[in-house]
Amino acid sequence: MLEKVLDEVKQIIEKVKKEGDKALYELTEKFDKVKLDYIKVPKEKIDEAYERVSDDIIDALEIAKENIERFHLATAPESIRVDYGDAILGKIYVPIEKAGLYVPGGRASYPSTALMTAIPARIAGVDKIVACTPPAKDGVNPLTLVALDLAGVDEIYAVGGAQAIAAMAYGTESVEKVDKIVGPGNIYVTAAKLLVQKDVAIDMPAGPSEILIIADETANSDFIAYDCAAQLEHDPLAKAILVTTSEEIAEKVKRKVSELVSQGEFKAILVKNLDEAFEIANKIAPEHLSIFTKNALKMLGKVRNAGSVFLGEYSPVAAGDYASGTNHVLPTGGYARVYSGLSTETFMKHVTYQMLSKEWLEKYGEVIIKIAKAEGLPLHAKSVEERLK
């Protein structure tokens, strides 16, 4: 799929690199059918957004924000120091300086993605957080503006698509050039992220939504069907896979899913036992893995490849999407084999350090000298020999 749009996306990126804001105005009018009055959203527009969003929704966003903050604060990496007596070694975690968030929008609004991307960046300590989100004819969706503001974003740009990724990667007159770009998007956004990653870091490739559910005979088939349908409603290319030991469960879920949603791909796989089910799941490496079995928590040890795991009947994926506190920006398309979901670590890097004593160098100096000489690097060896005189 990506190959079909790569040439077009390359042209968009080059246009933005050469023409800056002028390209953003033209491309937004071409693709979004919106004639922009501005690229950087003015503060008064953000203030107006609060007037256009109901208090109930703002309260809900505040509660979701608290839960997301609580989890990401608790799981942020901590610096490590190891003292061996004659040597001190360690690892410190430091935030990147500038992060660019992509929040899908236009016809729809995804305030949850605003929270999921901005809050970990802020907790990580990123100096400058900016966000791009597509505009509609009456401007950026007010719900998205409120969520981005609540989450602590410094600047918001009314730009979407591949042109937004190019703008954050290379900078324009209005858009800040960043060190890393994160967030989900359509095929054009994904293609753009993959093309610019030689010049700027990205979080992960992200494609259509997917869920894999492992279920035994004790599972509630209606709950499973609704979780499958919830993922399929995202996108016509979305996938839902049920892997179960029960033929009865498989049939019930299949019927119910077909009643609930007409798009996306649903598949049921019958297996002899749960070991076989987890073997399939780990091979597929799904974005979302739901486990509907007896003693679901004990099954966590069988999981190797998954973006995020939902255990038991009362853990719908929607909870993780919005308010439980974990993150919904997750690897898709099998990338969970090598990528993790978005977290504070996404916005940090680690730096190792060492402070060695004279005694340590006397003890291990010959080891260093021998290896350096074996590699044909005599000055490496000499840098140690001089200290040992």
Write the pLDDT tens digit of every residue in 66-77. 999 999 999 999
Active site residue 3: no
Residue 231 labeled ligand binder:
yes
Whole-number percent of the chain with pLDDT over 90 = 94
Give 165's contacts (C-beta < 8 A, 6+ positions apart): 13, 102, 132, 181, 185, 189, 192, 193, 196
| Distance from C-alpha of 389 to C-alpha of 371, rounded to nearest angstrom | 19
Q: What is the mean pLDDT of residues 14-24?
A: 98
Residue 328 labeled ligand binder:
no
| Distance from C-alpha of 380 to C-alpha of 368, rounded to nearest angstrom | 8
Least confident range from 26-40, 94-108, 189-203: namely 94-108
**CA distances (Å), origin 228, targets 252, 254, 289, 296:** 13, 10, 11, 18
Burial of 331 (0-12, 13-18, 19+ CB in 10 A): buried
Residue 72 labeled ligand binder:
no
Contact indicator for 147, 111 with CB cutoff of 8 Å: yes
Residue 67 labeled ligand binder:
no
Write the pLDDT tens digit of every residue in 241-300. 999 999 999 999 999 999 999 999 999 999 999 999 999 999 999 999 999 999 999 999
Give the E-state strand segments of 336-380 in sequence order.
Answer: 348-356
Residue 127 labeled ligand binder:
no
| Distance from C-alpha of 130 to C-alpha of 139, rounded to nearest angstrom | 17
Whole-number pLDDT of residue 162: 97
CA dihedral sign, ordered 126, 342, 194, 103: negative
Q: At 218, which helix (H) or strand (E)?
A: none
Whole-number pLDDT of residue 107: 60
Write the pLDDT tens digit of every residue in 233-254. 988 989 999 999 999 999 999 9
Write the pLDDT tens digit of every residue in 300-311. 999 999 999 999
Whole-number pLDDT of residue 138: 87
Domains, the chain, ordered by start: 2-202 (3.40.50.1980), 210-337 (3.40.50.1980), 360-388 (no CATH)
Active-site residue, selected from the candidate residues 29, 287, 345, 350: 287
Whole-number pLDDT of residue 207: 82
Whole-number pLDDT of residue 84: 96
Residue 216 labeled ligand binder:
no
Whole-number pLDDT of residue 144: 96
375 pLDDT more than 70: yes
Residue 11 labeled ligand binder:
no
Q: How confident is the model at residue 2 (pLDDT cuts 50, 70, 90)?
A: confident
Active-site residue, selected from the candidate residues 66, 288, 385, 386: 288
Q: How confident is the model at residue 81 (pLDDT cuts 50, 70, 90)?
A: very high
Whole-number pLDDT of residue 3: 80
Terminal-residue alpha carbon distance, the chain: 64
Whole-number percent of the chain with pLDDT over 70 = 99
Whole-number pLDDT of residue 108: 67
Q: How confident is the model at residue 25 (pLDDT cuts 50, 70, 90)?
A: very high
Residue 141 labeled ligand binder:
no
Active site residue 29: no
Q: How confident is the model at residue 369 (pLDDT cuts 50, 70, 90)?
A: very high
55 pLDDT more than 70: yes
Whole-number pLDDT of residue 106: 62
Whole-number pLDDT of residue 211: 98
Residue 288 labeled ligand binder:
yes
Residue 234 labeled ligand binder:
yes
Write the pLDDT tens digit of every residue in 146-168. 999 999 999 999 999 999 999 99
Average pLDDT for the chain:
96
Whole-number pLDDT of residue 278: 98
